[in-house]
Each structure stands twice: as C-alpha cells, then as structure tokens.
Amino acid sequence: MINSITSFNKGTYKQPNIFGYFGNFGGAYIPEMLHRNVEELATRYIDIMYEEFFQKDYHALLKDYVGRPSPLYFATRLSEKYKTKIYLKREDLNHTGAHKINNAIGQVLLALRLGKKRIIAETGAGQHGVATATVCALKGVECVVYMGVKDIERQAPNVARMKMLGAKVVPATSGSQTLKDATNEAIRDWINNPNDTHYVIGSVVGPHPYPDMVARFQSVISEEMRWQLKEHTGNELPSKIIACVGGGSNAAGAFYHFLDDLSVELIAVEAAGLGVHSGHSAATTQLGKPGILHGSKSLVMQTDDGQIIEPHSISAGLDYPGIGPMHAHLFESGRAKFLSAKDDEALQAAFELTKLEGIIPALESAHALAALKQIHFKPNDITVLCLSGRGDKDLNTYMKVMNVNAE
Ligand SMILES: *Cc1c(COP(=O)(O)O)cnc(C)c1O
C-alpha cells in the first residue's frame, strides 16, 4: 500500500519524483516564509496517510459520514442514446454533494495528526469552503475560509452554509476580488500562523506535496471503480474514463488506479466557455503555456509577459486559469486526451442527463457529459463517466435557461 518515493527519477504518471515533478511539471515554488510549513507536510504526509490508524479513521468516515462507496450506476437510457455502455460514478451522492469532501476529510485528519489546531481554506464558488467547514464542524476545529468579495455576493447560499457550520468567512478585497485573491489572503494567513495552522487546498494544484496528496485522497474514486466494474462487467478495466477538469482533482481521482493500464483511454474535459478562442474560456491545455501559478510549474493561461488571463466558464468550479501538474504531464505525454465543452453544450448536456436518467448534474460534471457527443464509441465499449457533483447549487442557472426557452 505504501508508495514511498526512493529514487531520483522523472516521476511516473501516478507519482511525482522527490522534488514533486510529474515529467516537466510540478515542484514547489514558494516564498521563503512558507518553507517550514510545506517542508513539514512534504516530509510527513506519506507516513501519516498510510498509518493503519489513519487509514481506519479515514475510511470509516468515508463510509458512514460521506456514504461511500459511491455507486457505479449503469445509465441505461444514456447508453442507448450513444449506442454504447456508459456507467456513472456517482460522486454527486456524497455528503455535501460532490467529490471535494473526500479530500477535505483527508486533509483535516492529517492536520490533526500534525498537531494543528486551526484550518484555513480558500474558496471560489464555495464548494471547497463548504466541504472544509463541514469537516471542521465534525471535528470541532476552528475554520477560516477566504473568499473574494465578488464571490461572496454571487454565492450567498454557500456563504450561509459555511457560517451555519461555524466557519469564519473572510472577504478578500484585493485585486479582482475572486478566487486568486482569496488564495493570496490564505497564503498570507499561513505565513503568519505557521505553527498551529494547516492550509487545506481544494484541488490537485499548489506546491508539492499538495498535488500528490490530494490525488491520493481522491484516488478512492478509482479504487472503488475497479472492483465495481469487476462486479458489473467481469472485468476491472473499462475502455474509457471521462472526467471534467478544473484544477483536476475529480479527474485525478477517477484516473489514478488506471494510469498504468495503458489500454484504458483517459479523457479529460475542460471548459471552453464561449469558445476556446473567444477570449472567454478556461481551456488551459489549449491556451496555456508553461508557467508558475500558486506554487507549482504547470500549464497556465497567461499573456506573453506572464500576466494571468482571466478565465471564463459558466461553471464556477472550472473557472480556473491553470491545471494541476499531473494533468499537464498527462497532456504533454499524450497519456490522456483533452477535450473541451462550451457553456451552452454543458447546459444542453445537463438537461439531457436529467431527462434521460432523472439525475440533475452539477454544471462542472455536465462538461464531461457534453464530451459524449465528441467521442466515437463502439457498442461494446465500457465507459465510466465521473459525475463529480449534483446540480442543486446550479439551479438558478438552469432556471434561467428554462425561462428563456419558455418565452
Ligand atoms: C470543484 C468542482 C469541480 C472541479 O474541480 P476539480 O478539482 O477539477 O475536480 C468539478 N466538479 C464539481 C462538482 C466541483 O464542485
């Protein structure tokens, strides 16, 4: 079970080298003031995560609190429509409505084992903030969530949830007053409170060891998929796995235990916004260049002189100008195929799934669904699509579409 990294190498698809590189991407580009915190985490995370006691605690919470294993559901009518066999990995059924809780539980347990007494997080749409605040309530730990002023205004229900859960929501007032500014505030807090505080990052981004650590916590998704596929089909290996990518944590979790099975086609779907070349997009692998964002080297949407280009997606969870270093490596090496779906295609796909299967997906997950139209399937192909979250939070957007169509 323990995958300790013992040799200098270029990393594998699954594991970074000792410096945190997946191929040409990763590392830890951090200010001097953060070295102590990040170093402590990097030297201890593997040992703690694979302790018997930790594993027992983590898996007990995943089972009884989150409701895992999440079902692998054969989508009959969706399969008929695309003339193939499609299974949905139901992360939407997790407590708090998405895959993010898998990582939040893991990191808060790890922080407690490190002796930390205080948790901080950044959030954009509020999903990661809610997941983190939930686990902090469960464990009785102080929780501070940084959130851009604009996002606080746009995401009132999630702000209310976090407050009800006992978290302090601190407005980030600088810059564009959104996710990247909240991230800067969280980093500043961590620098000022290195001894008692752990910073919970919500995706496979950030300095090493975060991308690897978050991927390991989310890898429970593909660990379950293997035995569930065996149960359903007699074979652990599917033909294809499809997942949406913001920072890339649900995709990393869904791909993880299949990365070395080269017969399995891995398909990541980015948000193309109004169109990849419209100037309003978040399709990082199509538009990005190597650069450093939030502590790691990866593909980043930036101008020629290195300024971050503001991304756009209808889905807040995919509205990010970068991508985790593991995914940059999967893209560059060709191990995974990267597609993109536009805002309107995602909306259409959300309504299609709802009508065919009675499942209202999150707008993020709807991007993965939209990619079904772009893929050539054989009738006997077995495809697993990671349904990363449920659509309750997106009802306002869906209602606007229905009102327009009713006019
Ligand atoms: C946050 C979120 C995403 C995007 O994050 P990843 O790290 O790329 O998985 C996708 N789906 C849902 C439902 C989310 O809440």
Nearest to 207 by CA among 338, 333, 33: 33
155 lines ligand 1 (CB under 6 A): no
Whether 262 and 241 have beta carbons less than 8 Å apart is answered as no
pLDDT digits over 82-91, tens only? 999 999 999 9
Nearest CA to ligand 1 atom 1: 317
Q: DSSP per residue over 375-396, as a string?
A: S---TT-EEEEEE-BBSGGGHH
Catalytic residue among 79, 219, 296, 388: 388
- Decide if 122 is catalytic: yes
Q: What is the mean pLDDT of residues 129-150?
A: 97
Q: How many CB atoms lie within 10 A of CB 48?
A: 16
At 17 the pLDDT is 95
User: What is the SS3 assignment for 357?
Assistant: helix
User: What is the SS3 assignment for 221?
Assistant: helix
Q: How many CB atoms lie within 10 A of CB 55?
A: 12
pLDDT digits over 236-248, tens only? 999 999 999 999 9
Q: DSSP per residue over 229-245, as a string?
A: HHHHHS-S--SEEEEE-
At 257 the pLDDT is 98
At 4 the pLDDT is 47
At 10 the pLDDT is 72
Is the pLDDT score of 208 beyond 50?
Answer: yes
Nearest to 143 by CA among 129, 128, 133, 158: 133
Is the pLDDT score of 3 beyond 90?
Answer: no
At 26 the pLDDT is 98
**For ligand 1, mutation pick of 70, 127, 130, 151 (most atoms within 8 Å of CB):** 127
Nearest CA to ligand 1 atom 5: 246
Residues ≥6 apart with Cβ < 8 Å to 350:
360, 361, 363, 366, 369, 391, 394, 398
322 lines ligand 1 (CB under 6 A): no
pLDDT digits over 89-101, tens only? 999 999 999 999 9
Catalytic residue among 14, 100, 240, 342: 100
At 2 the pLDDT is 44
279 phi and psi angles, rounded to 5 deg: 85, -5
As a whole number of angstroms, the distance between CA 177 and CA 151 comes to 7
* pTM reported for the whole predicted model: 0.96
Q: What is the mean pLDDT of residues 371-398?
A: 97
**For ligand 1, mutation pick of 285, 318, 340 (most atoms within 8 Å of CB):** 318
At 154 the pLDDT is 82
Q: What is the mean pLDDT of residues 260-282?
A: 96
Nearest CA to ligand 1 atom 2: 317
Q: What is the mean pLDDT of residues 239-260?
A: 98
315 lines ligand 1 (CB under 6 A): no
- Decide if 100 is catalytic: yes
203 lines ligand 1 (CB under 6 A): yes
Q: How confident is the model at residue 115 (pLDDT cuts 50, 70, 90)?
A: very high
Distance in Å, CA 128 to ligand 1 centroid: 9
Quick one: what percent of the chain has pLDDT higher than 70?
Answer: 98
pLDDT digits over 292-327, tens only? 999 999 999 999 999 988 899 999 889 888 999 999
At 8 the pLDDT is 52
**Higher-confidence position of 154 and 122:** 122
250 lines ligand 1 (CB under 6 A): yes
Distance in Å, CA 202 to ligand 1 centroid: 9
Distance in Å, CA 268 to ligand 1 centroid: 12
Q: What is the mean pLDDT of residues 119-132?
A: 95
As a whole number of angstroms, the distance between CA 300 and CA 294 comes to 10
Is the pLDDT score of 254 beyond 80?
Answer: yes
Whether 303 and 279 have beta carbons less than 8 Å apart is answered as no
244 lines ligand 1 (CB under 6 A): yes
At 178 the pLDDT is 84
pLDDT digits over 11-62, tens only? 789 999 999 999 999 999 999 989 999 999 999 999 999 999 999 999 999 9
- Decide if 139 is catalytic: no
Mean pLDDT of all residues belonging to the chain: 95
